[in-house]
Amino acid sequence: MRYHAPQTFEEAAQLAAQAPGVTRFLAGGTDVLVQLRAAMVRPDDLIDIKKIPGTAEISRTADEGWRIGVAVAGAQLGAHAGLKADWPGVVEGMELVGSTQVQGRATLTGNLCNGSPAADSVPGLVAAGAVAEITGPTGKRTVAVEDIPTGPGRTSLTKGEVISALLLPPRGAHGGDAYLRFIPRTEMDIAVVGCAVSLTVEGATITAARVVLGAVAPTVRLVPDAAKAIIGTALDDAALAALTKAAEAACSPIDDKRGTIAFRTEVAGVLARRAARIAYDRARGGKQ
Amino acid sequence: MPKDELKAEFRLVGTRPNRPDGLDKVTGRARYGADATLPGMLWGAVVRSPHAHAKIVKIDASKALALDGVKAVVTRADLPTGLTGEDWNLQENTLAGEKALYDGHAVAAVAATSRLLAEEAARLVEVTYEVLPHVIDVDDAIRPDAPVIREGAADASVPPGMPPNVVRYLDFGRGDIDAGFAAADLVREQTYKTEATHQGYIEPHACVGQLGADGKGEMWVCTQGQWYIRKMCSAVLGLEAAQLRVTPSEIGGGFGGKTTIFMEPLSLALSRKAGGRPVKIVMSRSEVLRATGPTASASMDVKIGMKKDGTITAGRAEFRMQGGAFPGSPVAEGLYCAFAPYAIPALQHIGYDVLANRPKCAAYRAPGSPMGAFAVESLIDEMCRELGLDPMAVRLKNAVREGDTASYGATFGSIGLIETLEATAAHPNLAVPLGPNQGRGIASGFWFNHAGETSVTLAIGEDGTATVSVGTPDIGGSRASIALMTAETLGIRYEDVRVNIVETGALGVNEPTHGSRATFASGKAAVIAAEAAIREMCNRAAAEWGIEPEAVEWVQGAAQPAGPNAGKFPPMSIAEIASKMGGTGGPISGHHESVPDGFGASFGAHVVDVEVDPETGRTTVLRYLVVQDAGRAIHPAYVEGQYQGGAAQGIGWALNEEYIYGKDGRLQNTVFLDYRIPVASDLPPIDTVIVEVPNPGHPYGVRGVGETGITPPLPAIANAIHAATGVRLRHLPMTPPKILAAMKTKG
Amino acid sequence: MSRIHVTTTVNGDTVEFLADPRETLLDCLRDHVGLTGSKEGCGTGDCGACSVRLDGTLVCSCLVLGVEAQGRTVETIEGMATGGELHPLQRKFIEHAALQCGFCTPGILVAAKALLEKNANPTDTEIRYWLAGNLCRCTGYDKIIRAVQDAAAEMRGAA
């Protein structure tokens, strides 16, 4: 295995494009190193993108959104007051990934590119309407985060393409988001079900919403019907019941070592209700 | 000695000094299995079967051997033939012969100049398999038409006509079982299941082995028993035991799982083939979970008869346990322990040891007892609820006492079950009010404890300090407790005793640290050895004073004349006697070798409060209480540690831990991510009460405290979940999907 | 496989080693630098026995490549005591019997030290969640939490 530490994304993309064998990008490494150790992947070329200037930075964009570097670790997100105030759901999703130690390394981008339907940070990003900036051998493009994963362990990135930043839109006034997951222990598990909700309100009425489920389908799933169920409501019992039904209907999970189809479907509704309430309170009570 | 002659006041016993190995362990200096490196050392890696059951057609290692730096490959063909009984089982588990018997079964091993190279070479060993039908679940494995794992594995206990995977059958009891059930007001029978769990020690198995063409070998290994390693490796490889010297490293947890061999013979076999270069093998976590001893899984029918006043009139237990592809599940122990806390006139026990395509089970903390307790203690709770009885009162009403015949046939000596239950009932945790969705559960537990072959030497140093050599590796603080007892006996400071865990060449044979025996057996032997040294020191003083040895007594670390008639001499301290010993007859030491008698059984009772999320079925443990009879707590902090650790493992077993197999017979949760042991945030503080009903069979009253504590959590939590939700879970683990489904069914 | 020359600072000392790029920082510390205090319990970031600080950040050294340590600062359990003096956490772990087998202890001490530098007065719950990635199978965690609290109290008093 050859180890590369390029200084620019263009260089990284060229390296990957020209590499003849198996290539992996290394950001936080909390997935790649596990796969290396278990010999699940045996890369010929490993491209460490953390040495590229700016990758460890979180910055405001011109439109009052956020640009998050690909080497920003979870602990850094959690310590960033401004980002946390705007997108607490995005931050809390990332902070649920692994242990304190893993938080010192794991990144949003890595969590996204691992392609797991249970990735804790991805529902929050999708609910927020986040966009990935991709650098490829022929230039840059941007793609909605929900269009990156295409199935367990697979992404829509083509050979030579590397995510060079994640972009969060401006939060705007009267918005709130939240992410909840279900795990059997209190920490250290992969989500059995995850749910992120992002919404905005005018007074008590929800004017816009995005509801996203994790671990109930081959990819993280944006559920427009669930959003419709609460838009125009004050999140009353009827709205919550409709939200529950829409969330359950969107599930096409599997039975596996972490949960059953029936359990995942049921809990998806529970988490949708609970996450919506938190997001709603955040939107109404000002930014938390 | 009689109970009332046991001393109750001590200078050191019962205090909490710093453990002697503490400094090494907090600074990273303590050396564990994987921490040794030797000149010329190679690294080993093991080729493992990906199939649950498969004929091994061909092993081709030519590509591996062609790699530069690969020094040896070992297959079963390199091991001696003609072994029988458990020796054959151990050899077959070390390296598969004709068939791979479970996912992870070792098939070949490779030695190379680096770890990465050894792993690479192991991947290049080509094994051709012919996959066979497999069976995983114990109830499937006992079916008459189940895939046959091994012909002829059944022992003489199995009657003709039994299903082919039954390898041991038990049937024992007492009294008139039918009359017992007829005398009851309520008779209930239920089936319970527990899944296999792993000991989950954080240190993976690791060793460095070296074996020359002359048959002389050395091994550094993390183990609970260096003599077991020596005996088993010698048997598997056809070596002479005396030629193999085994040195135990510090051990990073064992819980029974490090009382046997796995890859240790492979390091020796590879070393011999590689010209005697030492070979280090360190297992990965996946190898630990796939191929080392988990405990058995169990399917259990229990029937109990109870009168309206709570008197238990009869009990019947029929247990089926699989302990992997080899005989040896703890079904007998499970049956022996199941009714042990209860004085029941009529009992029947039936047991089946069943083979399945899983790793060979190893001991795990009170082997068998937690399963039996889960079934019996759950059913007693169910019946108490049905009859409107207080489960604590019922346990007290039926509790065994000194002189009772145990359910398994022995006669109980001094035991402390009543005292334990009374201390439990009086604890403030039982008065804490519970909120909605919360419930409280109680359960009892039992373990025999154990003595076993023991050999200890004590040597007096030139300055009057003492060195104790013991053969029981220290897992939970036994060096501290043995030092305390030795210092107490000699009348010197705790700091003046050093306890060493020594290699196989330094002592007679010792059984491992198992059966809660280290502080009991090595401690008892150390005290007897100290007494022998004291006698010799009295002799030296008597000789110097010119009086009879019988006229000298040992008081506070010094020899002195025993009364005014013996003569008037100032006390002669241990330091003074030691400083002169070269001129008064030579080195002074004491030693003791025996299978000590007098080990004492231990009972415990646990109380747990839980809260269950009605929407997700998730259980939170709110508070936890362990009460257990220690006999005497030599170092109370480490006794509490054993109670807390046992409870934590039991909580994991009850709620989350299990071996999960796919339809292909492969283990699906081979890393800690999905083999879910409790993390710090899962657990509440674990309150402890040490009950002390001294064991008259030990000079300081020790019973052994290591194992009983894992037994009650399984039923206590099931009982608490029932109290919180109204649903009864009879199949562990009690995961959120199972609890939620049960709640929905109940409506 | 060609090895890569790595220069790094470990517990204040400049250290050089040759790393196969596939080797983890844990492998390099243990097999090339001779510091075996950091342990491998899982190799997957689930147990925390390999916890070290990398430029001050608490990480699992099994999830860092050795070559990534180039030019960085690494702190391990072997550097926790200063001179002959134990860190209060080390002392309190011994006093409170917060270790049994001791295999997880180095990782827990390194992690707990990082916590107390960030939060001098943590609640029990904060300690438990901070240490959730440090598995201990012997103690049930009870005495570990008490030892961390006692060390924190002593350090607050000393400050």
CA angle B614, B383, B392 (to 5 degrees): 85
Range of lowest pLDDT (B288-292, B562-566, B568-572) = B562-566
Token pair recorded at residue A265:
């479907």
Considering the domain architecture, whether residues C147 and C123 belong to the same structural domain is answered as yes
B555: helix, coil or strand?
A: strand
pLDDT tier for residue B342 given thresholds of 50, 70 and 90: very high
Considering the domain architecture, whether residues C95 and C135 belong to the same structural domain is answered as yes
What pLDDT digit, counting tens, does each position of B263-277 carry? 999 999 999 999 999
Q: What does the pLDDT read at residue B6?
A: 60
Q: Report d(CA A94, CA A88) in Å as an integer.
A: 10
Contact C35, C91 (CB under 8 A): no
Domain CATH code at residue C75: 3.10.20.30
Put simply, the answer to whether C63 touches A2 (Cβ < 8 Å) is no
pLDDT tier for residue B7 given thresholds of 50, 70 and 90: low
Report the C-alpha dihedral over residues B694, B502, B208, B227, rounded to 10 degrees: -60
The residue among C79, C111, C142 that closes a domain is C79
Query: How far C131 CA lies from chain A's nearest CA (Å)?
Result: 7
Domain extent at residue C152: 88-156
Rounded to a whole number, what is the largest CA-CA distance in chain C? Answer: 53
**CB of A270 within 8 Å of any CB in chain B?**
yes
In a domain, A233, yes or no: yes
In a domain, A238, yes or no: yes
Domain residue limits, chain B? 3-29+451-594, 368-449+600-746
Put simply, the answer to whether A1 touches C68 (Cβ < 8 Å) is no
Domain CATH code at residue A276: 3.30.390.50
What pLDDT digit, counting tens, does each position of A85-101 carry? 999 999 999 999 999 99
> Between 3.40.640.10, 2.30.40.10, 3.30.365.10, 3.40.50.300, what CATH number should domain B3-29+451-594 receive?
3.30.365.10
Tell me which CATH code domain B368-449+600-746 carries: 3.30.365.10
Contact B314, B186 (CB under 8 A): no
Considering the domain architecture, whether residues C15 and C53 belong to the same structural domain is answered as yes
Give the distance from CA B129 to its chain's centroid: 35
Number of helices (H), then strands (E), in chain C: 5, 5
In a domain, A278, yes or no: yes
Q: What is the ipTM of this complex?
A: 0.98
Taking the CB of residue A6, how many other CB atoms lie within 10 A of it? 18
Query: How far C159 CA lies from chain B's nearest CA (Å)?
Result: 23
* Mean predicted confidence (pLDDT) in B479-505: 98
Q: What does the pLDDT read at residue A192?
A: 97
Taking the CB of residue A185, how many other CB atoms lie within 10 A of it? 17
Q: Report d(CA B340, CA B344) in Å as an integer.
A: 9
Considering the domain architecture, whether residues C54 and C100 belong to the same structural domain is answered as no
Q: What does the pLDDT read at residue C159?
A: 58
Domain extent at residue A218: 175-283
Q: How distant, in Å, are the alpha carbons of B343, B401, B407, B408, B412 from that of B404?
A: 7, 6, 9, 11, 6
pTM equals 0.97
What pLDDT digit, counting tens, does each position of A155-209 carry? 999 999 999 999 999 999 999 999 999 999 999 999 999 999 999 999 999 999 9
In a domain, A166, yes or no: no
Count of structural domains within chain C? 2
Considering the domain architecture, whether residues C146 and C94 belong to the same structural domain is answered as yes
State the residue for tokens 């072997």. Answer: C78
Q: Which helix (H) or strand (E) holds B55?
A: strand B54-60
pLDDT tier for residue C2 given thresholds of 50, 70 and 90: confident
Considering the domain architecture, whether residues C39 and C70 belong to the same structural domain is answered as yes
The residue among C27, C44, C79 that closes a domain is C79
Non-local CB neighbours of B568 within 8 Å, separated by 6+ positions: B561
| Residues from B in contact with A at Cβ < 8 Å | 119, 123, 284, 286, 615-618, 655-656, 660, 668-669, 672-674, 676, 678-679, 681-682, 735-737, 740-741, 744
When CB atoms are compared, the residue of C30, C137, C142 closest to B200 is C137
Contact B193, B393 (CB under 8 A): no
Put simply, the answer to whether B736 touches A182 (Cβ < 8 Å) is yes
pLDDT tier for residue B1 given thresholds of 50, 70 and 90: very low
Among C26, C54, C68, C127, pick the best mutation site for testing chain A contact (most A Cβ within 10 A).
C68
State the residue for tokens 């019947």. Answer: B316
Query: How far B165 CA lies from chain A's nearest CA (Å)?
Result: 27
In a domain, A30, yes or no: no
In a domain, A66, yes or no: no
- Whether B3-29+451-594 shares its CATH topology with B368-449+600-746 is answered yes
Considering the domain architecture, whether residues C92 and C75 belong to the same structural domain is answered as no
Considering the domain architecture, whether residues C74 and C95 belong to the same structural domain is answered as no
Could you write out the DSSP letters of every residue in B109-138? EEEESSHHHHHHHHHH-EEEEEE-----SH
Q: How many CB pairs under 8 A join B and C?
A: 187
